[in-house]
Amino acid sequence: MRKGVMRPGHVQIRVLDIEEALKHYRDLLGLIEVERDTQGRVYLKAWTEIDKFSVVLREADHPGMDLMGFKVLNNEVLEQLEADLIAYGCEVEHIAAGELNGCGRRIRFVAPTGHHFELFAEKEQPGKWGVSKVNPEAWPRDLKGMKATRFDHCLLYGPNIEETYALFRDVLGFDLAEQVVDPEQNRVAVFLTVGMKAHDVAFIDCPEPDKFHHASFYLETWESVLRAADLISMTETPIDIGPTRHGLTHGQTIYFFDPSGNRNEVFCGGDYHYPDHEAVTWKAEDLGKAIFYHDRVLNERFLSVLT
Ligand code: FE
């Protein structure tokens, strides 16, 4: 049952060199550079997003994901979810309004997979970038690179998949859209959504906690995924796989790496989900086809290259 969590709001990614990272996230992915804060973090957004930012880059000595934040409907929902998290046995941390520029207070907790998540209700809302709020044109003409339209989801690796699914389902109101089960019927991957999208966050079982597989950005068409592949080659950007299709969610996708080794995805299409949909199941023994529908085999990097 939905609990008032609306959507992924932001992801904070660690990068080794902020200027190199900007060439990637701004000039190649086509995110809009919004501003920098006093800590040197850089804020970016995709052009269709109405909130101030969705990606925060933080320079650090090792790559990976610091945290992923979800926006909730309003402050009453935020207070209720905080109480529910505490009642469920989660430790919550209060992050003051303004710690991220333009973002209201955040409630942070650690999932059983070891990842840091946060909930917030308020963020400055300047509207879509480059188009008017009244009579908006179809798209801004000065977008760069892949012209990413929105931050869509993260795929995260860690232990305790079942406990993490239970937390996201029972406390935060996520639905299980898709799952991968092993021959003993244990879930080894869960794809979770709070809306109609195929997934807002997904987890794959892995003994090591708090690992980052990819942050994903939505493109409009298959042709724009192909064009992204061309740009990846033009810029000598390390590629992981694609363009191809996923079996899970059926999105049309390409994976590549930022200069720090963090994996990114851009994709289009994909299945939709309503609350009465039964979860789609893939068998773990067919994981190759589930992940890379055409090749039907996993490349080694998919399971081993994490940040
Ligand atoms: Fe993905």
pLDDT digits (tens, 9 = 90+) for 21-69: 999 999 999 999 999 999 999 999 999 999 999 999 999 999 999 999 9
**How far is ligand 1, taken at its centre, from the CA of residue 213, in Å?**
9
Token pair of 14 as six digits: 């660690």
pLDDT in tens, 235-254: 999 999 989 999 999 999 99
**How far is ligand 1, taken at its centre, from the CA of residue 133, in Å?**
30
Is the predicted pLDDT of residue 299 greater than 90, yes or no? no
**How far is ligand 1, taken at its centre, from the CA of residue 134, in Å?**
33
**How far is ligand 1, taken at its centre, from the CA of residue 38, in Å?**
32
Q: Which residues surround ligand 1, an ion (CB under 5 A)?
A: 155, 216, 265
- Alpha carbon distances (Å) from 256 to 3, 158, 228, 233, 251: 34, 21, 10, 10, 16
Smallest CA-to-CA distance from 29 within 172, 148, 118, 124 is with 148
Token pair of 220 as six digits: 């409009």
**How far is ligand 1, taken at its centre, from the CA of residue 240, in Å?**
13
Half-sphere exposure (Cβ direction) of 199: Cα atoms closer than 13 Å: 29
Mean pLDDT on 97-119? 98
**How far is ligand 1, taken at its centre, from the CA of residue 192, in Å?**
12
Is the predicted pLDDT of residue 298 greater than 90, yes or no? no
Residue 35, strand partner residues: 43
Q: Which residues are catalytic?
A: 153, 199, 214, 246, 255, 265
The pTM assigned to this predicted structure is: 0.97
Number of Cβ within a 10 Å radius of residue 183: 8
